Amino acid sequence: METRLLRFCNWSVLGVCATLKLPQIFAVLGARSARGISLPSLLLELAGFLVFLRYQCYYEYPLLTYLEYPILIAQDLILLLCVFHFKGDVKRAAPYIVLYVSAWFLLALQKWIIDLAMNLGTFISAASKCAQLQYLWKSRDSGAVSALTWSLASYTCAARIMTTLMTTSDLTILIRFVIMLTLNIWVAATILHYRKTDVKSE
């Protein structure tokens, strides 16, 4: 029973993450605008994903417990390019990409670096969600932000809490997923709140 549940969680998370950012990417492309998307939030999220992936690779955890992260990073990079494109300056993305590639190699130089980065990575990822929340509160407009993307992200965090408990029981990873689950639900609820507000005002 536990093996089946683990398999379901792993494969469902992988399936959801294969399309997780697509609603957001299509919303931005459809609106031809990055309105409502916080660039600092996106950059911090990408950094958090990168640190988490590097940590899992460094400790050689089972591949199925983190296989979605290369997919999420690729989708975030596409979204980042879309945001810069609609803000009129795609070239501004280049320094960030160079920074992320350099960080990938620097993180694994010493064990203490990757451990520290993982602990900071949770705060970085939480900061990315808080930046998106702050942007929504300030603008009172969900714009082209996809509630579906944030809802799916909530599911993946809940499923990853289960898989972590059944495999590595790594407390650092568990704390990260609990925090991310809470904040993802909060962002999704905020998006829906401002969407209802927009409908009423019309």
| Dihedral angle over CA of 85, 90, 92, 97, nearest 10 | 100
Provide the b/e sequence for 154-186 (b: ≥16 CB within 10 Å): bbbbbbbbbbbeeebebeebeebbbbbbebbbb
User: CB of 124 within 8 A of CB of 52?
Assistant: no
User: CB of 43 within 8 A of CB of 73?
Assistant: no
Closest Cα partner for 49 from 27, 23, 75?
75
Tens digit of each residue's pLDDT (9 = 90 or more) over 141-185: 776 778 888 899 999 999 999 999 988 888 988 999 999 999 999
pLDDT the model gives residue 200: 52
C-alpha neighbours within 13 Å on the C-beta side of residue 98: 5
Q: Is the dihedral of CA 57, 100, 121, 159 positive or negative?
A: negative
pLDDT the model gives residue 202: 47
Higher-confidence position of 196 and 95:
95
Residue 138 makes CB contacts below 8 A (sequence gap 6+) with none
Of the candidate ranges 29-33, 53-57, 180-184, the one whose mean pLDDT is the lowest:
29-33
pLDDT the model gives residue 31: 82
pLDDT the model gives residue 186: 95
pLDDT the model gives residue 148: 86
Q: Which tokens hold the place of 178?
A: 């609990």
pLDDT the model gives residue 83: 86
Q: Which tokens hold the place of 117?
A: 């980065």
User: CB of 60 within 8 A of CB of 69?
Assistant: no
User: Is residue 191 over pLDDT 50?
Assistant: yes
| Per-residue pLDDT band at 41 (split at 50, 70, 90) | confident
Question: What's this model's pTM, rounded to 2 decimal places?
Answer: 0.79
Tens digit of each residue's pLDDT (9 = 90 or more) over 63-121: 888 888 999 999 999 998 888 888 888 888 889 889 999 999 999 899 999 999 988 88
| Per-residue pLDDT band at 197 (split at 50, 70, 90) | low
Give the C-alpha separation, 159 to 153, whole Å: 10
pLDDT the model gives residue 198: 54
SS3 content of the chain, % helix, strand, coil (to 5): 85, 0, 15
